[in-house]
Structure 1
Amino acid sequence: MTGILLAGVSSFILYAVLSIILIFNKKKAKTLTAKFALFIFIVLFIIASIVNYIFLVPITLPNMIIANLVMAVIGILLLYGMSHTPGTKKRSGPFEATLGLLIILAVLAIPTIFVTGIFTLDNSYESISQKEVEEAKPLSKEDTPITVSPEFARNKTQKSMSVIPNTQFYDLGKLQVQKVGDDVVFVGPVEFTGFWKWFRGKETEGYFTISATNVNAQPEFVESKMKYTNSSYFNKNVERVIYGAYPTYIQSGEAQIEVDKDGKPWYVQTLYQPIGLTNKPDLQDLKVAVVNPVNGDVKLYDTDNAPPFIDGSVSSEMASDVNEYFGKYVHGWLNSIFGKKDVKIPNESGTESSVTPIFNENGDMYYFTDMSSPKENIDSALGYTLINARTGTLTYYNGKKNSGIMDSTGAKEIVNKEFPEKNWEGSMPVLYNIDGNPTWVVNVLDPNGLFKKYAYIKASDSDFVVFGDTARETLEAYRLQLLQDPSNVSSSGETPLQKRSGEINRVLVTTQKNAQVVQFLLKGDKTIYTLTAGKAPLALFLQEGDKVQLEANIRDNGTGIVEKISIEGLTE
């Protein structure tokens, strides 16, 4: 309520000043004019307060300038109409001068705010904490580069809503992925379905959790009463609570649930203050409001200093905005319209506001988005961004080492075309570096949002696709397929060559893309060695019992790419 009153008062400063000037310049009926001015002020203040209460207009310079101009024009016109004596031919000079001044101010102020906002885009771009690298680290053999898609998690959780008392009062709120303990889970609050359900229920029953990495996991309901929620009304609404405490901040997106180590839920909301005479964000000064849903207490933190249990103090909506500024305004607004040098357009294949949350090996959450060219009919990715969900730092992987890879839209289309008769579609494409190969990992869902398969797609080859039922199974099958692809059978140079020797235990020769590939095992060694016949033609005649000496790039996934080999009795 404090914020609403403050916004109301701030909207009437210009009207108050001008009405006082008019009263003192009015030679006759000063007292009557003052009463009219006060009456108009009260009426408009009540109307403006209602508008602010409904729309929660942040107290920023452009918002208050426009509000003051609007209220001043309406107020002065009403004051003129009420204080002007009927039948008088001579018009009141001060009123005409004041209206003229307001028109001039409006003509100057509105374009100024618009133009300032355009030039401030450079400031917002410069405020992004960013770095650029050429290639992401490859996955280790322990990594499983996938999480359950939110569509599947939501579908599964909604089927469990019957466990809630008075189920008819509630619906499932916004799902938020986070790490609880050692598990990555989706957390979804129970929200009211409407005003009368809130009026009768007063508080929600709790929240659901469901694994974000195991498609076979079942949702669990956690009882935890909440009075202050996104779906509550009046002063119990989380957005109003935050606005009342911090009316000079702009809220980014919808408040989301995060759970602490004791299982207690909290609503978190990203906030920012604008730059100068605009509503454009200063991305180096992001804040997060944390609301206690039981008593409505709210605290403000820098996003990177938020309580440790909060993974996403930077909202997905804010991350999407950061991508927009980073990609489009690298050389300013004019370049984003004409020329478009170095401009990159974020794809909209993400699961939350065009971005996809993922976790790295340290358990830190990032938002993933791939970037494509602004030129039409170009479906190759220029690179991708990862935005730290606590600090807001953007890392851009420019893809220079892997030019010509398809974008996320292309990856989804490959999946969509694979199962046309079943109407299965690709969801949540994320680009990973698997053994040095950019790879799209995609969830395959049926029309009801139920999970069916995983798809691993080589980003530089649309025909190289591996499907599987589990993430681990599909990853290993994809890695095996990579080994059998002659274009991949070469040392990456990332690790030094290792010398090995031994006796051949098993050997397999296959033909892949008009080239022959030899794979073999050594006795007492579980490494799968692979080489192309072009490097050592006599390797085609390998058989069990042959003794060999070789140099290979041994990868951490249990495979080795052979660069040199000598075969006793054949090459010696």
Structure 2
Amino acid sequence: MKKGLGFALTGLWVLLMLVSYWFYLPALNPLELGFWFFVLEGLALALVAQFLWGLVAAVSSAIPSQKAANLGRTRARDVTKQTIAYGRAFKLCLALIVGILLILGGASLFSSRVFRAKSYAGVIQVKEADFAKDFPETDVSKLALLDRASAEKIGDTYLGTIDKVSQFGISDAYRQITIGQQPYRVSPLEYKNFWKWMSNRKEGIGYYVKVNQTTGKAELVKLKEAMKYSDSEYLFRDTLRHLRLQHPTTIFGQPSFEVDDEGNPYYVATVYRPKFLLSSKDPVGAIILDAVTGKSKAYDLKDIPEWVDRVYSADNVISRVDDYYTYQNGFWNTVFSQSGVKKTTDSYNYIAIGSDIYLYTGITSATADSSNLGFILVNMRTRQVTNYKLASATETAAQASAEGEVQEKKYKATAPILTKLAGQAYYLVSLKDDAGLVKSYALVDAEDYQQVTVNNDIEKLIAAFTDADTSALTGASADQSATSDKQKQISGKVEQLASQIIAGTTVYYIQSNGQIYKIKASQETTDQLPFLKIGDHFTAQVGKDNNLDAFAVVSAD
């Protein structure tokens, strides 16, 4: 009986550890803190097993039996041996747990910023530059006007155009990348639930959405080969689990969706290594997973393909920049005199320069007033950091100033975009209503944030501050309004209706007969368009990308 109980407890321990590994997927690497938590979990379960074993042994030894009485001293000797063995195993597990906790605590303490402040400050190097001379002039054709929430609203309207629309949703990832030097947000489709996955897993996911952040143009991209690996998969095709089984000892982060310049889908997982004992993980490379085939390859930082836009996370970048500016003079200086102590502001955003994505944020003093000492620009693929000196308002102050210009409308300002127009620094702010729709734009002078210009037309707003060609901000819509002889005449009924301001122009989205159509408001569109409602019948001509021309309301319910 006791031998059977021992096998049962051992089997249960193995099963629980496998289940834990399946869900938490720690790297089997002693440099990973999660690995030691996994070991501690195993030792804790072993303690419980030892306790149960000892309890059963004690109970069974106390049961009187004729056989036990006849055995006398022999049985007493056996029980004593079992108790000693149980006690040793229990004490060993307990000692290992205490020892590991003490080592982890000591390692955490001695690798903390209290003892290694200057080491933390030295992880990155910052290049100093002058904003007026060195900061690149903003290319208005690459302005990322749409934030994540706006891109998601536009992208989600295309879900009704796919086959099996009831089986899929669109992931809320909407990761910002560059494709052909244009800023986009991309997001794959995902299975709506486990049962939808069961029905469609053989075919895979055949689409992803990309939204141009400059023009607001969205596209539902149909893949030549469907994705078989994604975050919405279950079992062995889940991206994190698949990569963990392929790279069991590698420390890496959550895979994120990206596409290369040819539109092929991948997941990118940043590889980390602790800088100080088990603390302060820092990127050392990346694993790229082909979402179609499931093949993956690990790269060192210097070898990562150039189409990969985001190797470093915003948290890592902000943390390293804060360490650099906070601990140059040691830890205790931050507590008492705070001489030379600076920090990043509470807001950050991304801008596209060339084919790379850059994070920018303001640098302010430790007193955290409403002024910046300059701006940090960080390449998210290489983590090259440049500080551009410029006395200016903080991003938060600029947002408040933009909201103040339209306070009667109660619009909310999004995180501003830092721009340089005709050599001058400005914050470009989108202003949204309570429904989350962009209603207007504001340019706030970064050096004098009380100077604010607001306009519903982004092209006219930018054109007032620069001689650069601003046609790209609305030019992408010009071809959509042109009537073609090959356009198809349709009629339909409005089943769903939504609108969004893109580059200062209202675009209406109409769902009818399983299709999503778009109408760009202009002087040529019917005056009935703003009063359109669900149930109205219409006729129109369908142009490129389901854009409607010659739109007319023929009857209303």
Structure 2 length-normalised TM: 0.69
Cα deviation 1:493-534 (Å, max 9, x = unaligned): xxxxxxxxxxxxxxxxxxxxxxxxxxxxxxxxxxxxxxxxxx
Letter of the 2:196 counterpart? K
Is it true that 1:196 corresponds to 2:195 in the alignment? yes
Q: Does 1:135 align with 2:128?
A: no
- State the 1:465 CA deviation: 1.0
How many Å apart are 1:54 and its aligned residue? Answer: 0.8
Question: Could you say which residue in structure 2 is the equivalent of 1:556?
Answer: none
Q: Structure 2 CA distance, aligned partners of 1:329 and 1:166?
A: 55
Q: Deviations over 1:464-483 (max 9, x none)?
A: 11223454532332359xxx
Change (3 A) 1:181 1:102: closer
Instruction: Kindly provide the CA deviation profile for residues 350-375 of structure 1, in whole angstroms up to 9, marking residues without a partner as x.
Output: 4xxxxx22122x33321122233443
Of 393, 398, 421, 2:384 maps to 393
Alpha-carbon spacing, 1:43–1:64, altered in 2? closer, same or farther (3 Å) = same
SS in 2 for 1:52: helix
Name the counterpart of 2:311.
313
Q: Cα distance, 1:429 vs. partner? A: 0.9
Instruction: Please point out which of 443, 448, 463 is paired with 2:450.
Output: 463
Separation in structure 2 between the aligned mates of residue 248 and residue 95 of structure 1, nearest angstrom: 29
Deviation of the 1:72 alpha carbon = 2.6
Residue 96 (structure 2) pairs with residue 102 (structure 1): yes
What is the distance in 2 between the residues matched to 1:69 and 1:234?
A: 26
The CA deviation at 1:148 is: 1.9
Secondary structure, in 3 states, of the residue corresponding to 1:251?
coil
The 8 Å contact of residues 120 and 278 in structure 1, kept in 2 or not, is answered as: no
Q: Distance in 1 between matches of 2:245 and 2:341?
A: 39
Distance in 1 separating the partners of 2:138 and 2:206: 41
1:146 and 1:425, CA in 2 relative to 1: closer, same or farther beyond 3 A?
farther
Query: Do 1:269 and 1:315's aligned partners in 2 also have CA atoms closer than 8 Å?
Result: no
Task: Note the 1:321-336 alignment, pairs <5 A.
Answer: 321-331=319-329
User: Closer, same or farther in 2 for the Cα pair 1:223/1:96, shift >3 Å?
Assistant: closer
Aligned mates of 2:429, 2:461 — CA distance in 1: 11
Aligned AA (1:206)? Y
Sort the Cα spacing of 1:103 and 1:359 in 2 relative to 1 into closer, same or farther, 3 A: closer
Verify: 1:267 aligned to 2:267, yes or no. yes
2:46 to 43, 57, 75: 75
Provide the rounded CA distance (Å) in 2 between the counterparts of 1:208 and 1:413.
33
| 1:250 aligned onto 2:276 | no
Distance 2:320 2:333 in 1: 18
Preserved CA contact (<8 Å) 2:127 2:387: yes
Query: CA 1:304 to 1:103, structure 2 compared with 1: closer, same or farther past 3 Å?
Result: closer
Match of 2:393 in 1: 406
Please report how far the alpha carbon of residue 305 of structure 1 lies from its aligned counterpart in structure 2 after TM superposition: 2.1
Are residues 1:453 and 2:440 paired? yes
Distance 1:242 1:125, change over 3 A: farther
Unmatched 5+ residue regions in structure 2? 63-75, 468-557
Tell me the residue number matched to 1:425: 412
Shift, 1:163, TM fit: 0.8
Paired with 1:195 and 1:338, the residues of 2 have a C-alpha distance of 56
For residue 505 of structure 1, what is the aligned residue in structure 2? none
C-alpha distance 463-176 of structure 1, shift in aligned 2 (>3 A) = same
Q: CA deviation at 1:334?
A: 5.3
Number of aligned pairs? 434
| 3-state SS of paired residue (1:235) | helix
Contact 1:252–1:318 under 8 Å retained in 2: no
Deviations 1:112-149 (A, max 9, x none): 13214415675454332532324253554865573122
**2:352 maps to which of 359, 373, 388:** 359
Letter in 2 for 1:427: T
Indicate conservation of the 8 Å contact 2:155/2:211, yes or no: yes
**Aligned counterpart, 1:372:** 364
How much is the aligned-residue C-alpha RMSD, in angstroms?
Answer: 3.2
Q: Provide the secondary structure at the position in 1 that maps to 2:197.
A: helix
Indicate conservation of the 8 Å contact 1:80/1:95, yes or no. no
Q: CA deviation at 1:99?
A: 5.5
Offset at residue 276 of structure 1 (A) = 5.0
Q: Which amino acid aligns with 2:383?
A: G
8 A contact 1:272–1:282 mirrored in 2: yes
71-80 or 232-241: which moved more? 71-80
Aligned to 2:105: 111
The within-5 A match list for 1:111-190 is 111-118=105-112, 119=115, 123-135=119-131, 137=134, 140=137, 143=140, 146-149=143-146, 150-173=148-171, 174-190=173-189
Deviation at 1:39, TM superposition (A): 5.0
Specify the code of the residue in structure 2 equivalent to 1:109. I
- Kindly tell me: are residues 313 and 67 of structure 1, through their superposed partners in 2, closer, same or farther at Cα, counting changes over 3 Å? closer
Q: Deviations over 1:28-66 (max 9, x none)?
A: xxx978x87665443222212211211222334333334
